[in-house]
């Protein structure tokens, strides 16, 4: 599913948190995952707000084109052309 008017591909669930989230925190905020979001290529899981914010920051650094933004964990591209 495309999010935030861009081409970032991710899917998210509206679950607040679960016992699985407590043992597997968001790699960005290190808290319980809120609104699980999975990147479409690598399937790494993040809080929806965390990955959207991270994407915006990464895309704005050095005028980086959105198509070159990578997963913060595995560095796989998270954009489709």
> How far from 52 is each of 2, 19, 23, 74, CA to CA, in Å?
11, 24, 22, 17
Per-domain residue ranges of the chain: 10-68
For residue 8, the model assigns a pLDDT of 53
User: How far is residue 33 CA from its own chain's centroid?
Assistant: 11
Determine the 3-state secondary structure of 71 from DSSP: coil
Q: Is the overall model pTM greater than 0.85, yes or no?
A: no
The CATH code belonging to domain 10-68 is 3.30.40
Tens digit of pLDDT for each residue in 15-29? 544 445 468 999 999
68-78 as b/e: b if 16+ CB within 10 A: ebbbbeeeeeb
DSSP letter at 61?
A: G
């Amino acid at each position: 599913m495309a999010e935030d008017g861009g081409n970032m591909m991710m899917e998210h669930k509206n679950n607040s948190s679960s016992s699985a989230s407590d043992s597997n925190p968001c790699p960005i905020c290190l808290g319980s995952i809120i609104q699980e979001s999975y990147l479409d290529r690598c399937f790494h899981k993040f809080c929806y707000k965390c990955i959207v914010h991270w994407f915006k920051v990464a895309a704005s650094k050095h005028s980086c084109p959105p198509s070159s933004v990578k997963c913060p964990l595995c560095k796989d591209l998270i954009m489709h052309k």
